A and B are shown apart, each in its own frame.
Chain A
Amino acid sequence: MGKDSLKTRLEIAKSKISEKDLYKDKKPPSSIGTAFKLSTELVSAVAVGTIIGFILDKTFGTKPWLILIFFFVGVGAGIINVFRSAKNMQK
């Protein structure tokens, strides 16, 4: 079996398998991964919001108020994050 016959056979095989078929058997991501992704999206936004509120409170000396406001803004951002990644998953 020469190199040429292998080449022709490769060509034939390549033409049979289009690139689409190669990636067709994509499995959906595991549910644990999905759940974990959504939960970190929510928690991280809340954490970032709270940290921003804490820093702003320290710089302006308005102790409890900005951290409270930014906590809830962070919750809102977290919900938006979850909403977006859930939308991405449905694609």
Chain B
Amino acid sequence: MATNPMHQFEVYRIGPEIKLGTIDISFTNASLFMVISSLAILLIFNLGSKKNSLLPSKVQLLTELSYIFVSKMISDTAGSKAKPYFAFIFSLFMFVLFCNMFGMIPYAFTVTSHIIVTFILASFIFVGVTIIGFMKHGLGYLKLFVPSGVPAILLPLIIVIEIISYLSRPVSLSVRLFANMMAGHTMMKVFGGFVISLGIVGGWLPLSFSVALTGLEILVAFLQAYVFAILTCIYLNDALNLHH
């Protein structure tokens, strides 16, 4: 069982079974790691923002740098109108980042390697952005589906294509995060299995690969959280500043 590379993605129940009607809402290892990530975020950012000293401590520096990083990202991609949504994007980015990074700890569970988690996150963003778009522009938001300068004969086809392109956003957003995390962790497990099966003679090559992959995975964990947040900003930008 230990050599099965997909075994690490198994969700199991921790503690008693809780049922809400017919839905199983028991506490699982996935929920445990979501709670751990959220608590870690709360702890770090509380510690970092408690004391406002001129010479920042390491935690305060981390907090301030991440604040600047996200606010810069938002103003670069979505403009100043997106400032009210800073809190949402910041927490989203931090949650995905911490879930990815906690997954890098051996024996930890990677929450974002499950498509249902990333898809729910992406669906919330999609629904929220659509609501914001309709609130800001009313029915004029539907102009997003009608690009300018298209001959009238082609319009029905183009509108259908645009709607499908719009609907594909949450899918591509969630699949990207999920596939990256799952592929990386599976690959690491496979190379780890090679180390065991080749033993002390031939195991050195896969071991060095494993070390390199760990570094790459940490990069991917950060990059995917960044991409997730920046795409949210881009979608928000489409909703706030309507132009095509």
Contact = CB atoms under 8 A, between A and B. Distances in A.
A37 B176 contact: yes
Contacts of A10: 54
Interface string A59-79: 000000000001001101110
Contacts of A28: none
A90 interface: no
B54 A3 contact: yes
A41 B223 contact: no
Contact of A36 (B160, B162, B176): B176
Given A6-B54, A80-B161, A37 B227 contact: yes
B180 interface: yes
Interface of A: 3, 6-7, 10, 23, 29-30, 33, 36-37, 40-41, 43-45, 47-49, 52, 70, 73-74, 76-78, 80-81, 88
11 contacts: A6-B54, A36-B179, A37-B227, A44-B171, A45-B165, A47-B168, A52-B164, A70-B164, A73-B157, A76-B157, A81-B165
Given A40-B175, A41-B168, A76-B157, 11 more contacts: A36-B179, A37-B227, A44-B169, A44-B171, A44-B175, A47-B171, A48-B164, A52-B167, A74-B168, A77-B164, A80-B165
